[in-house]
Amino acid sequence: MNGQEWSGQGINNSDCEACREDLSAVLLGIASEAETERVRAHLQTCADCQREAAELRQVLGGVLQAAPEVAPPAELRARVLNSARNSIQSINPAPRKRPNLALWLPTSLGLAAAVAAFVLWPQPALLRADVVVSAGDSVVFASSKSSGAPLVIRAPDGKLRRVSLETAQPAWFTEAVYAGGRAYLLDAANSQLIVLNVAQGQVERRFATPGGAAGLSVDAGRIFVKTAASGELLVFGGPNDADTTRRALAQAAPMPEAEYMDAVLHVGNRLLATSHSTGELFVLSGDGGQLLDTYAVGGAPVGLEQWAGGVLVLDVQGRLLELADDGQVRRTLKLKGNPDKFSVMDGKAYLTDRGGTVSVVDLQSFRVTRQRTFGTPMDIAALPDGHLALADATRGLLMLMPDLSDV
């Protein structure tokens, strides 16, 4: 994708060329204020230029990952800037274009100067992504720990549009689903369910979801939310927030936001809901009004997906279970790490682990066939075109092939 769209404003190839021309100077901290602001704004919207910036930063090697997020001392900053300016002038006294950082930085600056030069540029430029959902021919993802416009719609041509959302606290997104042209997203930090009209790019409604909302399903005009901390099932089925029914499924178990994990899934005329704090799977009527059964699956179940007439249960303690209709465990796959989200496509399950790994499980043989390390994988969604969308808290939204290679 060559250009991006942000809040309805188009970015064309000339914008990319201008950004890349000024990028080296901005990374060194010697660009003008106007140039710096222009580059920063463009990097917030253009994935191609974000990759270009990342490649330039790689020139500094391992220093990039270790650079502190504080400004350097004033005296050091002044020395580095003077050194950089003198280096540029000696290379090209009257340049028409910015020198290419990747070509001259390693030889013109010593390691100490390179470290300081990098510190002058705040990290990161990439958008954080914590939940992602396939939304028709688009993709919607959301960024936790951000405010103002944490929701992003990725169009089929790769253009991005950010959606404004005012919140009392920086959001903590736990789950997202798509139904009827709308993306439904749980923000546990602000105890709310957000309903986003994808075509219009506007937030239509919000529902109050206290208790550490983590599991989400939409079916037959009703919205079902499983809370991890309070152990309840919330059902929204009317035009007003007051039309909420609450059913206690498990005892309340106070926990930090990072542990808000649970899942809800409709299978036929039944509703399944996990309780990772008790190791149980609850079976309810389709409308959530009647508790039919409780399966003690053990561990800490946090994910549910349907496959081949059965149900897959993901245990964050390191198991993938296949259940029969009666709740009996057909097969168990032990996994390394703590996978907490997954998606199923074409006979394969794709599991994310915040520790850095995405795993592919062949569901016929029930074994891991491939793994790849990313930054901080938070969520993954299978797309209608056969690709995958990975939400990574440190690398942003990544589009992948079924074998986990980059698109």
CA distance 277 to 259: 10
The CA–CA distances, whole Å, from 380 to 114, 209, 333, 389, 399 equal 36, 23, 20, 6, 10
CA distance 142 to 188: 13
pLDDT at 265 over 90: yes
What is the three-class DSSP state of 22?
helix
Query: Which pLDDT does position 239 carry in this prediction?
Result: 53
Query: Which pLDDT does position 12 carry in this prediction?
Result: 55
Query: Which pLDDT does position 11 carry in this prediction?
Result: 43
**135 in Cβ contact with 124 (< 8 Å):** no
DSSP string for 186-231: EETTTTEEEEEETTTTEEEEEEE-TTTEEEEEEETTEEEEEESSS-
What is the three-class DSSP state of 87?
helix
**256 vs 10, which has greater pLDDT?**
256
pLDDT band, very low/low/confident/very high, at 243 (cuts 50, 70, 90): confident
Q: What is the CA radius of gyration of the chain?
A: 24
Q: What percent of the chain has pLDDT over 90?
A: 62
The Cα diameter of the chain in Å comes to: 79
pLDDT band, very low/low/confident/very high, at 317 (cuts 50, 70, 90): very high
Query: Which pLDDT does position 104 carry in this prediction?
Result: 42
Query: Which pLDDT does position 266 carry in this prediction?
Result: 96
Query: Which pLDDT does position 116 carry in this prediction?
Result: 41
Q: Break the chain into its structural domains and give their ranges.
A: 5-119, 131-400
pLDDT band, very low/low/confident/very high, at 72 (cuts 50, 70, 90): very low
Q: What is the mean pLDDT of residues 324-345?
A: 95
By residue count, the chain amounts to 407
CA torsion, ordered 237, 205, 275, 171, to nearest 10 deg: -170
- For residue 69, give both structure tokens: 């997020």
Dihedrals phi, psi of 176, to nearest 5 degrees? -150, 140
For residue 353, what are the β-bridge partners? Answer: 339
CA distance 127 to 393: 8
**153 in Cβ contact with 198 (< 8 Å):** yes
CA distance 182 to 199: 8
Query: Which pLDDT does position 98 carry in this prediction?
Result: 47
Residues ≥6 apart with Cβ < 8 Å to 177: 133, 183, 184, 216, 217, 218
Q: What percent of the chain has pLDDT over 70?
A: 75
Query: Which pLDDT does position 90 carry in this prediction?
Result: 47
Helix (H) and strand (E) counts in the chain = 7, 29
Task: Note if the bond before 122 is cis, omega within 30 degrees.
Answer: no
Q: pTM to 2 decimals?
A: 0.71
Query: Which pLDDT does position 57 carry in this prediction?
Result: 56
**151 vs 52, which has greater pLDDT?**
151
Task: List the one residue out of 290, 327, 322, 295 whose CA is nearest residue 306.
Answer: 322
Question: Which CATH number does 131-400 carry?
Answer: 2.130.10.10
**126 in Cβ contact with 50 (< 8 Å):** yes
